[in-house]
Amino acid sequence: MYQPVKIAPSILSADFMNLGSDIAMIEEAGAGYVHVDVMDGHFVPNLTMGVPLLKQLARATDLVMDVHLMIDNPLVEIPWFLAAGAQSITVHAEVLYGDDLARAIAMIHEGGARAAVALKPKTPVEVLLPVIREVDMVLIMSVEPGFSGQSYIEGAEDRVSAVAAMAREAGVAPLIQVDGGIGVKTAPLVAAAGADVLVCGSAVFAAEDPAGALKAVEAAGNEARERALASQAGPLS
């Protein structure tokens, strides 16, 4: 069934001195999620936010708390973020070996949240094959994780298409999220390829009119997605 593209503004690019106002603004503008980038300074070369901030955010908005764990030890920390109010937790396949990826997904589900798996730009999408039927969402990184404001890596849309095809082959339909360099020019590329959720940082929060920018990215993504679906056999469903 056709679902419109949703925007997940990344608060890593927000004004932390006015975070409450920024959250209210994106909620009013129609955001679908609050994207919370958790970095530990080890898995990625940056250190950001954690449990105390998530607790405050979860009390401040009805938007889905979409927590992206860019950390070395997700199996240890997943329970912390579940308890703090995470409603969707994304773990990186690169730090979960063997059965640990499936174990992390099960842990998230047992905690009542949606489970997602993220892939860095050079990680083969085939690592998803053992868990594609279990995940609620796949996150394709279109930049190397660690810092906001980076440029979109050309060709990331092909990885979105590959995940969409893998899911169809498996008979499932997880959401596909894309994070990195997403704005009005790149949103159409990934949305046409099958992306459902677009993470936007500086494209929203650094804009002169952040609410207008959010709506513009959403509109660009939806227009491209509708055109792509219309070009396929049969009407939108």
Mind listing the pLDDT tens digit for each residue in 126-162?
Answer: 999 999 999 999 999 999 987 777 899 999 999 999 9
pLDDT value at position 233?
55
Considering the chain, what percentage of its residues have pLDDT values greater than 90?
92
Contact in structure between 142 and 179 (CB atoms under 8 Å) = yes
Residue 15 pLDDT more than 70? yes
Catalytic residue flag (residue 37): yes
Which residue in the list 22, 136, 179, 196 is annotated as catalytic? 179
What value does the mean pLDDT take over residues 9-16?
96
- Reduced DSSP (H G I as helix, E B as strand, rest coil) percent helix, strand, coil of the chain, to 5: 45, 20, 35
Average pLDDT, the chain: 95
Q: Which residue is catalytic, options 22, 37, 66, 136?
A: 37
The C-alpha atoms of residue 204 and residue 218 are separated, in whole angstroms, by 11
Q: Read off the pLDDT of residues 89-134 as tens digits, 9 standing for 90 and up.
A: 999 999 999 999 999 999 999 999 999 999 999 999 999 999 999 9
CA distances from 229 to 56, 144, 160, 223 (A): 39, 29, 15, 10
- Whether the per-residue pLDDT at 49 is higher than 60: the answer is yes
Is residue 40 flagged as an active site residue?
no
Helices and strands (H and E) in the chain: how many: 8, 8
Task: Supply the pLDDT for residue 235.
Answer: 45
Q: What is the DSSP string of 72-121?
A: S-HHHHHHHHHHHT-SEEEEEGGG--TTHHHHHHHHHHHTTSEEEEEE-T
Mean pLDDT value of segment 200-219: 97
Residue with tokens 């999620």: 33
Res 180: pLDDT: 95
Least confident of 15-29, 172-186, 221-235: 221-235
Query: How is domain 6-231 classified at the architecture level of CATH?
Result: Alpha-Beta Barrel (3.20)
Please say if the pLDDT value at position 65 is more than 90.
yes
Q: Helix (H, G, I), strand (E, B), or coil: what is residue 161?
A: helix
Confidence of residue 234 (pLDDT cuts 50, 70, 90): low
DSSP 46: -
* pTM of structure: 0.95
Query: What's the pLDDT score for residue 184?
Result: 98
Q: Of the given ranges (52-56, 63-67, 149-153, 163-167), which has the lowest mean pLDDT?
A: 149-153
